Structure 1
Amino acid sequence: EYGRLAEAFGGSVFNISLSSEEHINPFDIPIIPEGELPGDVLRSHIVNLAGLAKLMLGKLTAEEDALLDRAITETYASREIIAGQNFSDAKPPLLEDLETVLRNLEGGRGLSERLYKFTKGSFSGFLNQPTNVDISNRLIVFSIRDLEDELRPIAMYVILNFIWNLIRAKLKQRIMIIDEAWWMMKDEASAAFLFGLAKRARKYYLGVSTITQDVEDFLRSPYGRPIITNSSLQLLLKQSPATIDIVAKAFDLTEAEKNLLLSAEVGTGLFFAGRQHVAIQIIASYFEDHLITTNPKQLLEERGK
């Protein structure tokens, strides 16, 4: 539905998948924001990259964690990208460069082998390439619909980190909408990254909206719960009997409000603004419905016209 919306308003749509021609290099050098030190920005970026690597590699020991941090730093150093030096014109490394560095570090061969499937193996199609997406448009949609489930949290992390680096580079009013955000709650590293982004967004004039069909994953996460509870605006739509109790406890719902959410029709729910909340019914106009519908019957009718 976001693709049709973007096309209607002249936006750009990028499909990120194993076979797509559009790529984001997670090792891209971040643009240095005005008033910030290049070394600090680089170190912050390395921390985010370490989180991505943990998401890709799985659980790490303390020794492997330290080795990974060292390897990422040395990967950048191999391209003369070093904190305290001018690296604005340097060429960023690729994921395969990190694999090479790990292979040559004492104790790093195991991590290198675990990284292989993302550099030269079956998952190498979307991470080990230079960035080639043009984000100059005012409305941009990144789609991971065609990615395997296992790779979706990784892709979301890469995309969000890419966008975050661009947002920090220039102060400008923006809004970021993260649909199916529950994918980010499935791993501690990605959940922590999303929490940090949401917490710091206001400083960079960014509004963040997270959308999820599985609010339980958010509420059970130590990072997801504060994202929801600290949001200035919240909207709850129909809930399942399996999750209604945890939702009711988090939002302090009455029995009547619980029943409303259990039996809610499409577009009906509860709208929260600060400490106040009210029942709401959202009715899309004909034009809006045409743009965003996912109803298979309606889509077939449109294609038949």
Structure 2
Amino acid sequence: MKLALAQLRSKTRRADGAADLTQDPAGVPGPSALRVGAQSVELPGGVCASFAVAGYPREVTAGWLEPLLTYPGRLDMSLHIEPIPPLIAAQRLRRQLARLESSTRANTEHGRLADFGAEAAADDAAELAASLARGHGRLFRLGLYLTVHATDHTELSAEVERVRALAASLLLDAQPTTFRALQGWTSTLPLGTDTIRMRRAFDTSALAAAFPFTSPDLHPRLGETPVVYGLNAYSSGVVLWDRFEQDNYNSVTIARSGAGKSYFTKLEAARLMCHGVHVAVIDPEDEYALLADAVGGTRIALGSPQVRFNPFDLPPGQGEDTLIRRALFIQTLIATMLGEPLTPTGRAVLDRTVIATYAKAGVTADPRTWKRPAPVLADLAAQLDHAATGKDGTDADREAAAELAGRLAPYVAGSYRGLFAGATTTRPEGHLIVFSLRDLADEVRPVGMLLALDAIWRQVANPADRRRRLVVVDEAWTLMQQSEGAKFLYRLAKSARKHWTGLAVVTQDAADLLSSDLGRAVIANSATQLLLRQAPQVIDQIADTFGLTEGERAFLLAADRGEGLLCGGGTAGERAAFCGHASPFEHHLATTDPAELATSTAAQPGIQPDEDGDPL
């Protein structure tokens, strides 16, 4: 049968001479002709044949359709899924059970041999009926159709044999759509129309195993926050991973400079935000500015002019001891500013002075006063001066107060006063919070980093605002060089799961991470481990730590940008080599290539390119 659309052309024309598309099918874009045969359809430039799967294996595993998706030729596959109402499903299962049991009884009464196929079907039907009765699953009707394409009939015959052999290896009975070739072809088009309607009943678990976009190398537990990491480097299947369904939600990403680790981390953070996950980032090199601006996040550039961050702000929802906890943090902050631990006398004087500073601002232990404007660091210095010149306390107390006031002078009236010169300018709130540390001087960086870490921990540990969160520490080797930053990483790696939070540690200095007790603790408490391209100098240490095979070692040494190895908890059975992919818009937000950023910042003069990193 030949459908020549050109022969159906209408002679009707509009008054202006243009074709009337309502009466002229030739004006509609489409193939000029289709020749429909008994088992094939001839298209312009090719020919195709379709199959409907009529038989399925009794038991399947996750990703069992992967060989069909990765077939090297042109093969279209479509899944048509229709839910069956529970009441109708229960009635049909009862009838099926009755037929199978009556057949078994009849065979027994007449002395025939047992039909083991019927017995297996009866057992499956009984188990499925019990599952439906308990509400553990549902029934669906699924139609699986295949369309093979080739350039001519000779090539099509060879492709059909290969596809049928592949289907047979999967225990699939693929039957040609004889005399329904056109319907078979249209059923595999992205139209959502099943004109063949050759379907099979599937329960929930079997349907989930038939999900086509699953890597056969991984068997992850997918919940509400699955993220596409990329395509499988060997089978071209999609690698999906849900960090919030693992034993813990932490991850560690190790790669050499330029391998795409920051790029990949930005992609995962952006895709997790689509699931409602709140993300906080410690950004040493201001690489997350584009992402924050694009998604309406909060970016706090510590060290920039006119940016203030008041450490005396009282966080909401922290309980009755909020003021006491803040006073203790101020003591830790002052010790970091001074660069050494406080003496017992100095700590006692500072504790009294901090409480007095809050009291002078009208903030007391009464929670009703906590909404009043908080004092600033200059108020604390004034209280220390008052304690140094007052008559209260001992000479040692007055001497300690004078010393503290003198050593805090650079942060109050000197070169380091910019960050503490007033009230907080930007509150760390929102679904994405980025603390940029690039503009901080080296002398002030430990202090600014401590302020950022404290703000993140207050949100993570707030019981009144419990939600999925991800804390990203990019270039973690810079944080580990600071004692307070190292303590924060260790505490978050140990207890983040209890607060529904994941810690994502990203570093290019594998030696520092693997040679320290802190680094090994972070790795041991990370159920998601990502290894991108590695340097030959550290590959032996990486291989020993993660138990890499010789093939995996060679893959990481020769990996291109964006290619990596996902290790689910470090076990050999939960590993997949993948290649990350991003849409053009995602690439624009995630790239750190200086050449690309120099071009894009011509239209956005407020964003400066970074000096390190490459796109995938």
Same topology, TM > 0.5 = yes
2-structure distance, mates of 1:70, 1:45: 13
1:8 aligns with 294
1:126 aligns with 2:419: yes
Residue of 75, 78, 98 corresponding to 2:380: 98
Matched, 1:202 2:483: no
**Aligned 1:39-188 pairs, distance under 5 A:** 39=321, 41-60=322-341, 62-63=343-344, 66-67=347-348, 68-69=350-351, 71-79=353-361, 81-83=363-365, 86-103=368-385, 104=388, 105-106=397-398, 107-167=400-460, 168=462, 169-188=464-483
CA distance in 1, matches of 2:366, 2:602: 61
Is 1:173–1:206's contact at 8 Å kept on the other side of the alignment? yes
Distance 1:88 1:268, change over 3 A: same
Quick check: 1:52–1:189 contact (8 Å CA) kept in 2?
no
Calculate the TM-score normalised by the size of structure 2. Answer: 0.44
SS in 2 for 1:211: strand
Query: Secondary structure in 2 aligned to 1:129?
Result: coil
**Structure 2 residue runs without a partner (length 5+):** 1-286, 389-396, 604-616
User: 1:139-288 residue pairs with structure 2 within 5 A?
Assistant: 139-167=432-460, 168=462, 169-276=464-571, 277-288=575-586
Task: Using the TM superposition, give the Cα deviation of residue 230 of structure 1 relative to its aligned residue in structure 2, in angstroms.
Answer: 0.4
Percent identical across equivalent pairs?
A: 37
User: Offset at 1:218?
Assistant: 3.4
Return 9-18 or 62-71, whichever deviates more.
62-71
Larger radius of gyration: 2
Asked whether the equivalents of residues 313 and 374 of structure 2 are also in contact (C-alpha less than 8 Å), the reply is: yes
Contact 1:80 1:90 in 2 (8 A): yes
- Aligned match of 1:31: 316
Partner Cα distance (1:73, 1:280) in 2? 55
Taking a change above 3 Å as real, the CA distance of residues 219 and 301 of structure 1, as seen in their structure-2 partners, is same
For 1:32-64, what per-residue CA distance to the aligned partner results, in whole angstroms no more than 9, with x for missing partners?
Answer: 34xxx412x333333433333332221225536
List per-residue Cα deviations over 1:71-95 (Å, max 9, x = no partner): 5445445445455765423432222
Rounded Cα–Cα distance in structure 2 between residues aligned with 1:65 and 1:225: 36
For residues 253-294 of structure 1, the C-alpha deviation after alignment (integer angstroms, 9 at most, x for no partner) is 445544443443211222222233333322333222122111
Are the structure 2 counterparts of residues 132 and 191 from structure 1 closer, same or farther at C-alpha, using a change threshold of 3 Å? same
Give the alignment's TM-score, normalised by structure 1: 0.82
Contact persistence 1:179–1:212 (CA under 8 A): yes
Structure 1 residue matching 2:504: 3-state secondary structure? strand
Larger relative helix fraction: 1
Q: Secondary structure at the match of 1:29?
A: coil
**Residues in 2 aligned to 1:86 and 1:61: alpha-carbon distance in whole angstroms:** 32
Q: Deviations over 1:96-145 (max 9, x none)?
A: 23334445343243333332222211111113321121445433333222
Note if contact 1:31-1:166 (Cα within 8 Å) is conserved in structure 2.
Answer: no
Asked if the contact 1:153/1:183 (under 8 Å) is kept, the reply is: no
Deviations 1:219-252, CA, capped at 9 Å, x for gaps? 4444443233202212122333454454444434
The equivalent residue for 2:268 is none
Q: Which has the higher contact order (CA 8 A, sep 6+)?
A: 1
Describe the SS at the equivalent of 2:374. coil
8 Å contact 1:152–1:183 — kept in the other structure? no
- Stretches of 4+ moved more than 6 A in 1? none
Rounded Cα–Cα distance in structure 2 between residues aligned with 1:205 and 1:118: 36
Identify the structure with the greater strand proportion: 2
Q: More deviation in 120-129 or 165-174?
A: 165-174
